[in-house]
Amino acid sequence: MNRGWEVSRNTLTAERVSIGSSDANFLATLPQFVEFVRDGHFDQVAHHRAGQLIAEGHAVKVLNLRSTLLTIAGGDPMPSAAISKLLSMRTGQGYAEFAVSTFGTDAAIGDPDQLPGKWGEYLLASRATTIYGGTSEVQLNIIAERLLGLPRDP
């Protein structure tokens, strides 16, 4: 009531920007992933995949900056915030999936205070990120409707 939806929308947008731009201590971060890849011995295919994930991590940082600048300028950061949130969550999952596939069962059953088990914990926590701040499906709908101009879902 009295612009309530606008307030709610702005709150969710701010949440998406903060989720995408913050480094939560329960999720793998870009610097942690870069260190992991640098210290590991991987074949060319694994290095290629790691490079893709690192590039996506940097793209997320640029999108977050864009969303913040749009907000400061009084623009609508919603579409770029949705893309940023979606990409940051998928990239964070990618970091953890890559590391867990490298460590194998040590990541799944290892001590979460030690490196292999910590990556297993990151993988589990990364699943929740696709729910809070708006599910991935909601983010895709926002992108489709607000950025691409596609019709609303029925």
Domain that holds residue 78: 25-147
Residue 95 domain-assigned (yes or no): yes
| Residue 70 and residue 147 in contact, taking contact as beta carbons nearer than 8 Å | no
One digit per residue, pLDDT tens: the chain, 154 residues? 677 767 776 676 666 666 555 555 556 788 888 888 888 888 999 999 999 999 998 888 888 888 888 888 988 877 788 888 888 888 888 998 999 998 888 888 888 888 888 889 888 888 887 777 667 788 888 888 888 889 987 7
Residue 18 lies in a domain: no
| Neighbour-count burial of 97, counting CB atoms closer than 10 A to its CB (0-12 exposed, 13-18 middle, 19+ buried) | middle
Buried b or exposed e, range 63-86, using 16+ CB within 10 angstroms: bbebbbebbeeeeebbbbbbbbbb
Specify whether the CB–CB gap between 61 and 132 falls below 8 A: no
What per-residue confidence (pLDDT) applies to 45?
A: 92
The verdict on residue 6 lying in a domain is no
Question: What's the pTM?
Answer: 0.75
Domain of residue 62, CATH code: 1.20.140.10
Number of domains in the chain: 1
Note whether residue 4 is domain-resident: no
**Does the residue 2 lie in any domain?**
no
Confirm whether 40 is domain-assigned: yes
* Cα distances (Å, whole numbers) of residue 21 to 64, 68, 97: 6, 10, 20
Q: Is residue 87 part of a domain?
A: yes
Question: Does the residue 10 lie in any domain?
Answer: no
Output the pLDDT for position 14: 67
